[in-house]
Structure 1
Amino acid sequence: MRGLACALAAAVLAGCAGLDPAPPARLGLRLAPAALGATISVQQHLKVERGGRTDELDAALEVDPERLELVGLAFGQRVLRLGYDGKKLTTWRHMMLPAQVRAEDVLEDVQLTLWPAMAIARALPPGWRVEDLGLRRTLYLGDAVVATIDYSGPVRWDGTVVLNNLRHKYRLTIESAP
């Protein structure tokens, strides 16, 4: 059972990590927890679709002005933990998770989906931009759409969020528990 939990978690997180043979560099977002502008504590169900495969994982996310904490669970077993205080990223991972599952990529997806567009825009490298229009956020590199994020409501951590990463070819659906 433990091996199955780790294999499932590895598959889900690999979708988030963008495991193309030679993927272009990620953004490297490292936004301060305070830049979220809120304190949240949510339980989430994540579904990653990539290459005709779907994998699922549960997560608990807490963010306050001082710190972000995320714990990933598969079959009730902890398989990943990351903490970020705005300066240092600390991680713990189950030994069965492949090295390609990078905490930096998980943190980036969390911040791209939840942080305000203005905070993201200030941290983007040259050539990148982010745009919010209604319940859709779009990330661009030049004029090319790199990712879209659709929200079910105005509060980004309530309801359902769908991140469609065109660059790394995966779709991440996040359902937050009420």
Structure 2
Amino acid sequence: MSARRLLIALAAAVLAACASPTPPDARPAARPAARLQLRLAPAALGQSISLQQHLTVEREGRTDQLDTALEIDAQHLDLVGLAFGQRVMTLHYDGRELQVWRHAMLPRQVQGDDVLQDVQLTLWPAQAIRQALPAGWELRETDGQRTLLLDGETVAVIDYPDRKAWGGKVILTNLRYRYKLTIQSVVTSE
């Protein structure tokens, strides 16, 4: 396999872990087709940040890694995903429209909406998320942890071992899609 194909396969595996279709036996019983589809305005973050992130995705005994550059201000969110220094995905979100560029080799299951949602669930203030949740969804927050529920059933747990959303470690465990995403962030500017 060429280095280029290996690069794309790795990036696809990492991003697909964040965006795979729901396995039928992993869906919450009360709403089998319910999807959160969270899209918060960039201004709802409450500040501007620029982060370098290292992502580690664990799923079905496999571990993959990806680097991202993330910039957010009141007008937009921009994310660039890199594998071995090559761009494999770009997101631009202005609060109304999400524009996604993906390398042609990425599988169609890799959805920009899912990547945007994970970013917002981990970084945005809990109150801003709660105000945007559809009926049946709930976000609970305790010291160092968030729990996302649908009709009382836990869908995802987000742990903040460093007690901060950025500039440290965040661990998102998605029970619905069965993956664990560890995000190590370094603030490049605030």
Same fold per TM (> 0.5)? yes
Q: Relative to structure 2, which stretch is displaced further, 24-33 or 77-86?
A: 24-33
Q: CA deviation at 1:129?
A: 0.5
Cα-to-partner distance string for 1:65-112 (whole Å, 9 max, x where unaligned): 000000000000000000000000001110000000000100000001
Equivalenced residues, count = 178
Matched, 1:126 2:135: yes
Counterparts in 2 of 1:52 and 1:19: CA distance versus 1, 3 Å? farther
- RMSD of Structure 2 on Structure 1 (CA): 1.2
Provide the rounded CA distance (Å) in 1 between the counterparts of 2:62 and 2:36: 25
Provide the rounded CA distance (Å) in 2 between the counterparts of 1:47 and 1:19: 20
Q: Retained in 1: the 8 A contact 2:8–2:105?
A: yes
Amino acid at match of 1:92: W
> TM-score normalized by structure 2?
0.90
Report the counterpart of residue 169 of structure 1 in structure 2: 178
Which among 13, 18, 36 is matched to residue 16 of structure 1? 18
Provide the rounded CA distance (Å) in 2 between the counterparts of 1:18 and 1:132: 26
**Equivalent residues in 2 for 1:94-133, closer than 5 Å:** 94-133=103-142
Amino acid at match of 1:130: L
Provide the rounded CA distance (Å) in 2 between the counterparts of 1:11 and 1:114: 23
SS in 1 for 2:162: coil
Provide the rounded CA distance (Å) in 1 between the counterparts of 2:162 and 2:135: 30
Consecutive unaligned residues in structure 1, runs of 5 or more? none
Highest CA radius of gyration, 1 or 2?
2
> TM-score normalized by structure 1?
0.96
Give the % identical residues. Answer: 61
Q: Retained in 1: the 8 A contact 2:40–2:120?
A: yes
Which among 6, 23, 39 is matched to residue 8 of structure 2? 6
Q: Relative to structure 2, which stretch is displaced further, 115-124 or 146-155?
A: 146-155
Provide the rounded CA distance (Å) in 2 between the counterparts of 1:74 and 1:25: 32
Cα-to-partner distance string for 1:40-83 (whole Å, 9 max, x where unaligned): 10100001111111111000000000000000000000000000
SS in 1 for 2:157: strand
Cα-to-partner distance string for 1:113-145 (whole Å, 9 max, x where unaligned): 101111111111101100110000111112211
Provide the rounded CA distance (Å) in 1 between the counterparts of 2:180 and 2:106: 20
Consecutive unaligned residues in structure 2, runs of 5 or more? 28-32
Report the counterpart of residue 30 of structure 2 in structure 1: none
SS in 1 for 2:105: coil
SS in 2 for 1:118: helix
